[in-house]
Amino acid sequence: MKKLIYLLVICIAMMIVGDALAQRTRTNNKRRSRPKTTKVVKSKKKATAKKSTKKSTKKSSKRTSKKKNKRTVVRSKPIVNLEDSDMDPYILCEDTCDHVHGIDLSHYQGEVFWETVGNNTKMAYVYLKATEGGDRIDAKYERNIELAHRYGLKVGSYHFFRPKTPLSLQLRNFTTQCLPGEQDLIPMIDVETTGNLPTEQFCDSLMTFLRMIERTYRQKPLVYTFRNFYNKHLVGMLDDYQLMIAMYQDVEPVLADERDITMWQYTGKGRIVGVNGYIDKSRFLGDHTLREIRFRH
């Protein structure tokens, strides 16, 4: 009986040991199979990481290249070539460059860089404000006329006419500044106001003053005025005088009496290298040339 009990105990023990061994075997098999799975997962992660790294590298390189391009664009901003008319229209003319062009200046333009203006071959002449009324002298006239001559422009001088101011005072004021030896172009009289005089009285005053200028300089002056002003007050009065007509439109001016116009001031907002701010620009019309307004010494 005891032997049977011992045998049963031994059998049970062997069964327990066998189950334990089988359990270990299954566990070991699982452990052996896990590394393979882990390796596959790791390789995928590495591949994904590499792809993401490549993408991020591409993105960063794109960003870097964009930044570089932006910097390059800023650094490579084109420099205006002052000798190339196609590059900078401010040197030449707002209208067309097929005509003889010029400008007029006064103290309103401030300091003018005449060396730069003189390098502009299309600006053939300049009219400078000398005086106004009976006692006003343009503060920049003396400097402007000296430097304009120095840098090769043909120079003329103009007087702003004040109809109510005594004509003798205006003549004396103008002649003390507009010296014949300094003039390349005939004097110009700027007519823009009636001074609240009736048209007939205004015209009498103007015509008398023009004759005084003609006797003093021994040649007729050029008369500057606006188209509308001429049509309202001066039709038929200035047939013996050359005209510079101001009209800031795209088409050439035509006067009410259809008389001939020598020069056209086509803009009051022109630009030119060497002058800050706006500037008046003019050109000859038709077959008129610079020779027609040359000062005869």
Q: Half-sphere exposure of residue 254, counting CA atoms within 13 Å on the CB side?
A: 2
Token duo for residue 69: 């391009």
Identify which of 61-70, 94-103, 216-225 has the greatest average pLDDT. Answer: 216-225
- Cα–Cα distance for residue pair 202/234, rounded to 1 Å: 10
pTM listed for this prediction: 0.69
Give the pLDDT of residue 12: 67
More confident residue, 219 or 79: 219
Span 23-50, pLDDT tens digits: 555 545 544 444 443 444 444 444 444 4
Tell me the pLDDT band of 73, cut-offs 50, 70 and 90. Answer: very low
Give the pLDDT of residue 46: 44
C-beta neighbour count of 38 within 10 angstroms: 10
Q: Is the pLDDT of residue 72 over 50?
A: no
Assess contact for 208 and 238: CB atoms under 8 A.
no
Span 208-259, pLDDT tens digits: 999 999 999 999 999 999 999 999 999 999 999 999 999 999 899 999 999 9
Assess contact for 247 and 239: CB atoms under 8 A.
no
Tell me the pLDDT band of 11, cut-offs 50, 70 and 90. Answer: low
Token duo for residue 229: 């002003």
SS3 281: strand
Give the pLDDT of residue 8: 66
Tell me the pLDDT band of 86, cut-offs 50, 70 and 90. Answer: very low
Span 109-164, pLDDT tens digits: 888 888 888 876 567 899 999 999 999 999 999 999 999 999 989 999 999 999 99
Tell me the pLDDT band of 17, cut-offs 50, 70 and 90. Answer: low
Give the pLDDT of residue 62: 45
End-to-end CA distance of the chain: 163
- Cα–Cα distance for residue pair 243/231, rounded to 1 Å: 13
Orientation angle between helical segments 199-217 and 167-177, nearest 10 degrees: 40
Give the pLDDT of residue 23: 57
